[in-house]
Structure 1
Amino acid sequence: MNNNDILLRLRYALDIKDTDIVKAFELGGMTVSKEEVRAMLTKENNPQQEENDIFEKNIYVKTINNQVLDTFLNGLILLKRGEPKDGSADRTPLKSSEVRYMNNILLKKVKIALALTSEDMLDILAEAGVYPSKGELGAILRKEGHRNFKPCGDKYARNFLKGLGICYRRN
């Protein structure tokens, strides 16, 4: 699952409008236009493409890297929760040159943005038919480098976004 797929599925699950995506990017420290957002969410049409090539079907007009998605997730936290009252919000983009384990970061930041508890996350995953233990979820949410850290696979991230869509679109 690439970063454009994550953004598209998150947009669907939380019913985020294009203007809110632009605002989230701005809050995260990056300026994008509505046209750029649409390009990030639009797949390329290639008639010569083989139907059996499953990995080539998810090619978007404008691909986004891990840092761009991380910037969006930071802005989503500020959009959903608001800025801190003490003014300590750092609006500078992530300084790290490499963002690894994007699925782990996705789960952590969506948890923060929506003020979810671990039980809420387990319920969301259960809606999608995945039943990790509380310890396994805790290992996914740990900081990279911790001795109990576990990388989150695409299966968990995909099912989390699917369950999020089921829970949030039901209401």
Structure 2
Amino acid sequence: MTNNDILIRLRYALDIKNIDMVDIFKLGGMNVTKEEVLNMLIKVREDEEAPENFVKVNNKMLEAFLNGFITFKRGPQKDKEGNVAGPVPVTGKESANNMLLKKVKIALQLTSEDVLDLLYEGGVTVSKGEIGAILRNTGHKNYKECGDRFARCFLKGLTMKYRG
């Protein structure tokens, strides 16, 4: 599953408007136009060539969007003095699927049980330990990379929950 697919499916699942997509990218520290967002949301199959105006979403762009989504849903983060902190730095080093699960879980204030329920709704049964391994940091000894199937089922579960 490509980063563009993730963005398309997440946008659909949570019914995010185009103008909100622009705002979310801005909150994540990336300035994009509405046209650029629309070009990111073009569906391209593997066996066909992408249109000339297609914008391929890389890990840094996806991470900026997900960081902005957290701020969009939960409000700006404040430091110890109570000042509003700037956007979270983007590294783009983590797996897109793991990043998706972690950051959407934070943004929507989901518990591990909620994530398990969403995955079950999407058609896959996993243990709480497996979810814990997916949500760990990359360097941790019990870290597990999230596969495309888990990510698809998670997004399918989100769609069923938020769109009925």
Q: Return the alpha-carbon distance in structure 1 between the equivalents of residues 137 and 112 of structure 2.
A: 16
Checking the alignment, whether the CA contact within 8 Å between 2:5 and 2:43 is kept in structure 1 is no
Q: What letter is aligned with 1:167?
A: K
Q: Give 1:147 deviation, angstroms.
A: 0.9
Checking the alignment, whether the CA contact within 8 Å between 1:30 and 1:93 is kept in structure 2 is no
Q: Give 1:108 deviation, angstroms.
A: 0.2
2:163 matches 1:169: yes
| Deviation >6 Å, runs of 4+ | none
Q: Give 1:55 deviation, angstroms.
A: 2.6
- Match for residue 69 of structure 2? 76
Q: Give 1:88 deviation, angstroms.
A: 4.5
Q: Return the alpha-carbon distance in structure 2 between the equivalents of residues 58 and 75 of structure 1.
A: 30
Q: 2:83 aligns with which of 87, 102, 126?
A: 87
2:23 matches 1:27: no
Q: Return the alpha-carbon distance in structure 2 between the equivalents of residues 4 and 124 of structure 1.
A: 21
Q: Return the alpha-carbon distance in structure 2 between the equivalents of residues 133 and 37 of structure 1.
A: 36
- Of the structure 1 ranges 78-87 and 12-21, higher mean CA displacement relative to structure 2 is found in 78-87
2:49 matches 1:55: no
Which segments of 5 or more consecutive residues in structure 1 lack a partner in the other structure?
45-53
Q: Return the alpha-carbon distance in structure 2 between the equivalents of residues 70 and 129 of structure 1.
A: 26
- Match for residue 104 of structure 2? 110
Q: Return the alpha-carbon distance in structure 2 between the equivalents of residues 40 and 158 of structure 1.
A: 19
Q: Return the alpha-carbon distance in structure 1 between the equivalents of residues 89 and 8 of structure 2.
A: 21
Checking the alignment, whether the CA contact within 8 Å between 1:43 and 1:58 is kept in structure 2 is no
Which segments of 5 or more consecutive residues in structure 2 lack a partner in the other structure?
none
2:58 matches 1:65: yes
- Count, aligned residues: 159
- Match for residue 153 of structure 1? 147
How large is the Cα RMSD of the aligned pairs?
1.7
Task: State, as a whole percentage, how many aligned pairs show the same letter.
Answer: 57
Q: Give 1:58 deviation, angstroms.
A: 8.3
TM-score (norm 1): 0.87
Q: Return the alpha-carbon distance in structure 2 between the equivalents of residues 121 and 24 of structure 1.
A: 23
SS of residue matched to 1:56: coil
